[in-house]
C-alpha cells in the first residue's frame, strides 16, 4: 500500500496541473479573531472555490491524470455532495460523462448543484448501502473510472494544493505557521495538507477537527490504526460523515498530526455565524469545524500564527438559518 502514497512532489505537480482550472482562494484575517485567540489567524476560504468547496481540487487532478481511453468511459463516484460536485464539474470541464451515487438524504442544494453540471444522479440509502461496492458496480456497467472521495493518491495530492497555497501566501506576508486546523472526514484533505506542511512548514502542529460522534480520525490516532466511529452522531456536518479513515489517508496522517479535536454542534453554529458576520463568508457545518475549534480555544498558538481552512460553503438554507438564529 505504501508505494501508492503520494508525496509533496505530487502536490507540486497537481498545483501546476490545476493552474487556471481552479480558484487560488485568498487568505482572510479579522482583528476580532486575532483578539479572541491571542494569535494571528489566517483563514483559507474554500467556499469561494468553484463548486463551493476544496473538493474540486482533488477531483480535477484525478480526472486530468486519466488516460484518453479511460476518459471515454467517464467517471463514477459516491458522495454526499461536495465531492459529487467536484467530480461533476471536472467531468464537464473535460467533456466526460459523470455518474454520481448520492445518499437519498443529501442536502437538496448539493444534489441540484451536482445535476446542473450534467451528472447522472443515483440515489442510495446512506445507512444500508456499501458505497464502494455500488460505485464499482456502476463503473463496471458504464466502463467508467471510479474517483473515490478521499482514499486515492491523485485526490489527496490535489487537495494538498490548498495548504500549499496557504503556506506560500502566508510566507509572502511574513508569517510562519505554528498551528493549523483542518476539517476532517475521510482524511483526504487532511492528508494532502500534511504533505504540504511536512515539506514547507514542518514545525507547525496540525490538528484534525471532527464533529461529535464522527471522530474516527481521533480514535484511530489514539489506537494506532484505523477504527470506525464508536457511536455515530447527528448528520449536521453531512460533509464529514465518513465511517472511518481511509488506508492511504491514515498512513499519511498518523505520522504527522498533533492530534484530533472534536467540536459540538453549538460550536459549529458559532463558527458559521462568525464567518458570516465578520469574514463575510457562507460556510456549511462540515466546512466550519476547524474554525469552531479555534474559536473554542481547542487549537491555540498564543503569540503565534494559526492557519484555518474553511472547507466548503454548500449549506442548506434552513440549516444556515438555524446557525444564524442559534
Which residues form the catalytic set?
Answer: 55, 311
Distance in angstroms between the alpha carbons of the first and the last residue of the chain: 45
Rounded CA-CA distance 315/240 in Å is 13
Question: Residues with Cβ < 8 Å from 271, sequence gap 6 or more?
Answer: 263, 283, 288, 289, 291, 292, 295
Residue 301 CA, distance from chain mean position? 23
107, HSE (Cβ side, Cα atoms, 13 Å): 23
Q: Which residue, 221, 227, 175, 183, is CA-closest to 201?
A: 175
Helix (H, G, I), strand (E, B) or coil at 150: coil
Q: Which of 314, 306, 226 shows the shortest CA–CA distance to 29? A: 306
Please report which residue ranges of the chain form alpha helices under DSSP H. Answer: 8-18, 31-37, 55-64, 68-73, 82-93, 108-116, 131-142, 153-172, 188-200, 216-223, 247-253, 265-274, 285-295, 317-325
Tally of residues, the chain: 326
- Cell numbers 442510495 correspond to what residue? 124
452522531: which residue's cell?
233
Is residue 294 within 8 Å of 181, Cβ to Cβ? yes
CB 262 within 8 A of CB 237: no
Q: Residues 19, 284: contact at Cβ < 8 Å?
A: no
User: Among candidates 175, 187, 307, 314, which has minimal Cα distance to 248?
Assistant: 187
Amino acid at each position: 500500500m505504501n508505494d501508492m502514497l503520494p508525496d509533496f512532489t505530487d502536490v507540486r505537480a497537481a498545483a501546476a496541473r490545476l493552474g487556471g482550472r481552479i480558484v487560488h482562494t485568498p487568505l482572510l484575517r479579522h482583528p476580532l479573531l486575532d483578539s479572541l485567540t491571542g494569535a494571528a489567524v489566517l483563514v483559507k476560504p474554500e467556499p469561494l472555490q468553484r463548486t463551493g468547496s476544496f473538493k474540486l481540487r482533488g477531483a480535477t487532478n484525478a480526472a486530468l491524470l486519466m488516460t484518453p481511453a479511460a476518459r471515454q468511459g467517464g467517471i463514477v463516484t459516491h458522495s454526499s455532495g461536495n465531492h459529487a460536485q467536484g467530480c461533476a464539474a471536472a467531468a464537464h470541464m473535460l467533456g466526460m460523462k459523470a455518474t454520481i451515487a448520492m445518499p437519498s438524504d443529501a442536502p437538496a442544494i448539493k444534489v441540484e448543484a451536482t445535476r446542473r453540471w450534467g451528472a447522472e444522479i443515483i440515489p442510495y440509502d446512506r445507512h444500508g448501502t456499501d458505497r464502494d461496492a455500488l460505485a464499482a458496480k456502476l463503473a463496471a456497467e458504464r466502463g467508467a473510472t471510479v474517483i473515490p472521495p478521499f482514499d486515492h493518491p491523485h485526490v489527496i495530492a490535489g487537495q494538498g494544493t490548498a495548504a500549499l497555497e496557504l503556506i506560500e501566501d502566508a510566507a509572502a506576508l511574513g508569517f510562519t505557521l505554528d498551528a493549523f486546523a483542518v476539517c476532517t472526514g475521510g482524511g483526504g484533505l487532511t492528508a494532502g495538507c500534511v504533505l504540504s506542511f511536512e515539506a514547507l512548514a514542518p514545525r507547525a502542529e496540525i490538528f484534525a477537527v471532527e464533529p461529535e460522534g464522527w471522530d474516527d480520525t481521533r480514535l484511530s490516532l489514539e489506537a494506532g490504526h484505523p477504527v470506525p466511529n464508536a457511536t455515530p452522531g447527528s448528520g449536521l456536518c453531512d460533509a464529514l460523515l465518513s465511517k472511518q479513515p481511509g488506508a492511504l489517508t491514515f498512513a499519511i496522517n498518523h505520522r504527522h498530526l498533533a492530534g484530533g479535536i472534536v467540536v459540538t454542534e453549538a460550536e459549529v453554529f458559532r463558527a458559521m455565524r462568525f464567518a458570516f458576520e465578520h469574514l463575510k463568508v457562507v460556510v456549511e457545518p462540515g466546512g466550519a469545524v476547524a474554525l469552531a475549534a479555534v474559536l473554542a480555544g481547542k487549537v491555540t498558538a498564543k503569540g503565534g500564527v494559526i492557519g484555518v481552512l474553511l472547507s466548503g460553503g454548500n449549506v442548506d438554507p434552513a440549516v444556515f438559518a438555524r446557525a444564524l438564529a442559534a
